[in-house]
């Protein structure tokens, strides 16, 4: 679905943000990308829908090269991006207008636009706010509307850049649950995060460091072998305990619990 070949990227000031990276993301995967601040997560994500173009190497999205100017609209349509701070993205006077903006640009029939807007707002639990002004919404609600705007474009891939970092834990859970459901329905998900608890739904974990990929594989296998503190995570007590239990062979490391719920389940099975 997304093929990154030998990608090197320098910002105009010369900063080397990505250094010869190879990464293939397959259709239907839920890939989480983690790593310390400044390791290149946002930079690689922005290459996946052509917001940034390679200094060297190539990025191919569903067969289209992001460096090919003629493909860029189609690429943006294929891979939608949800950002950390949705505040700056609003263009419409109402939530509904805002979400309709993308599909309107695709020149879809009015009925289809209305259908997509309603379905997307319902999907994120914001349908009853459709006539509100985006400015008056809470941070979490704004993030849900930004998310709905991407959904309304029916992208095959959604790229999430630390979208829950400014949200409270309830809203975080809402958003994660929506993403999990989308993934179940076939959407390919690339999810940048710095919260370990959010890896529960990922079927693949990519760890970056200084513009390179240092681990790529099953999240539980990686987290049971490597100390996540070295990836820039605070180690949550649950995972610290789970790692110790796995070290002592009390639990199977391939089933390493990543959340309180999962730990409870694993412990119950041991009783
Ligand atoms: N607009 C920019 N201009 C110059 N350097 C940048 C810019 N954006 C990011 N960087 C640098 O590129 C590197 C990777 O940044 P980024 O992809 O934002 O990392 P992450 O998302 O993992 O925190 C860092 O060294 C960062 O300082
Ligand atoms: Mg970032």
Distance between CA atoms of residues 48 and 79, nearest Å = 7
pLDDT of residue 219: 92
Q: Report the separation in Å between the CA atom of 232 and the middle of ligand 2, taken as the mean of its atom positions.
A: 12
Q: What's this model's pTM, rounded to 2 decimal places?
A: 0.93
For residue 7, what are the contacts with CB-CB under 8 A and spacing of at least 6? 18, 20, 21, 22, 23, 44, 47, 54, 56, 57, 58, 59
Whether residue 15 has its Cβ less than 6 Å from ligand 1: yes
Of 40, 47, 83, 206, which is best to mutate to test ligand 1, by the most ligand atoms within 8 angstroms of its C-beta? 40
| Ligand 1 pocket member 37 (CB < 6 A) | yes
Region 2-235: CATH code:
3.40.50.300
Which ligand 1 atom sits closest to the C-alpha of 40?
Answer: 17
Query: Which of 7, 9, 12, 15 has most ligand 1 atoms within 8 Å of CB, for mutation?
Result: 15
- pLDDT score of 266: 87
Could you state, in order of their start, the residue ranges of all structural domains in the chain? 2-235, 236-271
pLDDT, tens digit, for every residue of 129-185? 999 998 889 888 998 999 999 999 999 999 999 998 888 888 888 899 999 999 999
**Is residue 196 lining ligand 1, measured as CB closer than 6 Å?**
no
The pLDDT, as a whole number, for residue 183 is: 96
At 160 the pLDDT is 96
Please name the residues in contact with 234: beta carbons below 8 A apart, sequence gap of 6 or more: none
* Confidence (pLDDT) at 13: 97
Dist. CA 23–CA 33, nearest whole Å: 11
User: Which of the listed residues 12, 19, 32, 38 should we mutate to test ligand 1's pocket, taking the one with most ligand atoms within 8 A of CB?
Assistant: 38
Low-confidence ranges of the chain (pLDDT < 70): 88-89
Q: Minimum-distance ligand to the CA of 36?
A: 1
Rounded to whole angstroms, the Cα distance separating 107 from 33 reads 34
Q: What pLDDT is attached to residue 19? A: 98
Contact 153, 106 (CB under 8 A): yes
pLDDT at 88: 66
Q: Are 211 and 16 a contacting pair, CB within 8 Å?
A: yes
């Amino acid at each position: 679905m997304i093929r990154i070949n030998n990608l090197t990227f320098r910002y105009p000031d010369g900063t080397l943000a990505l250094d010869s990276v190879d990464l293939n993301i397959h259709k239907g995967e839920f890939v989480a990308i983690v790593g310390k601040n400044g390791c290149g997560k946002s930079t690689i994500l922005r290459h996946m829908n052509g917001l940034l173009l390679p200094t060297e190497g190539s990025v191919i999205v569903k067969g289209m090269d992001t460096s090919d100017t003629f493909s860029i609209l189609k690429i943006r349509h294929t891979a939608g991006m949800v950002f950390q701070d949705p505040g700056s993205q609003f263009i419409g006077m109402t939530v509904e207008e805002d979400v309709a903006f993308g599909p309107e640009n695709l020149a879809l029939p009015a009925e289809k636009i209305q259908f997509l807007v309603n379905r997307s707002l319902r999907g994120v639990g914001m349908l009853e706010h459709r006539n509100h002004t985006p400015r008056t919404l809470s941070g979490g609600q704004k993030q849900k509307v930004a998310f709905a705007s991407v959904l309304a474009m029916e992208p095959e891939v959604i790229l999430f850049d630390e979208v829950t970092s400014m949200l409270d834990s309830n809203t975080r859970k809402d958003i994660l649950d929506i993403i999990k459901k989308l993934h179940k329905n076939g959407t390919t998900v690339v999810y940048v995060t710095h919260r370990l608890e959010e890896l529960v739904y990922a079927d693949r974990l990519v760890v970056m460091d200084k513009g390179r990929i240092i681990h790529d594989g099953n999240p539980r296998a990686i987290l049971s072998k490597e100390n996540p503190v070295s990836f820039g995570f605070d180690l949550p007590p649950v995972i610290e305990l789970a790692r110790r239990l796995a070290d002592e062979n009390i639990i199977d490391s391939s089933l390493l619990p990543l959340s309180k719920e999962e730990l409870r389940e694993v412990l119950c099975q041991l009783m």
